[in-house]
Amino acid sequence: MEAPTRTYDAKVDSKRRITLRNARFEYYNVKEYSDGRVLLEPRELAVPFCVSEQTLAMMDAAMKNLSDGAVSEPVDLSEF
């Protein structure tokens, strides 16, 4: 097991919070265990992958065309 790089005691304040000194990350995932251990894992928040409204509308139109039978001839991809 890896040795800790920093060790210090912290006191829970009146609102049941603990302050992390010189925290390297803004967000942490917290896991609390029944034996009292608390594990903090740093998290980087990112914007999730989103599909635009226009793309969704185009996909809906394509599926409607498919169900209506308005499709092109099959494309020959055998040379690839």
What's the mean pLDDT in 25-43? 89
Residue 77 lies in a domain: no
pLDDT at 7 over 90: no
Residue 14 lies in a domain: yes
**How many folded domains does the chain comprise?**
1
Q: Given pLDDT bands bounded at 50, 70 and 90, which one contains residue 1?
A: low
b or e along 24-41 (b: 16 or more beta carbons within 10 Å of the residue's beta carbon)?
Answer: eeeeeeeeeeeeeeeeee
Q: CA quadruple 70, 72, 78, 80: dihedral positive or negative?
A: negative
In which domain, by residue range, is 14 found? 10-69
Residue 76 lies in a domain: no
- The pLDDT value recorded for residue 77 is 92
For residues 63 and 27, what is the distance between their CA atoms, to the nearest angstrom? Answer: 41
Report the chain's mean pLDDT, rounded to a whole number.
89
Residue 44 lies in a domain: yes
Residue 5 lies in a domain: no
Residue 18 lies in a domain: yes
Which segments of the chain does DSSP mark as H helices, in order? 53-68
Residue 75 lies in a domain: no
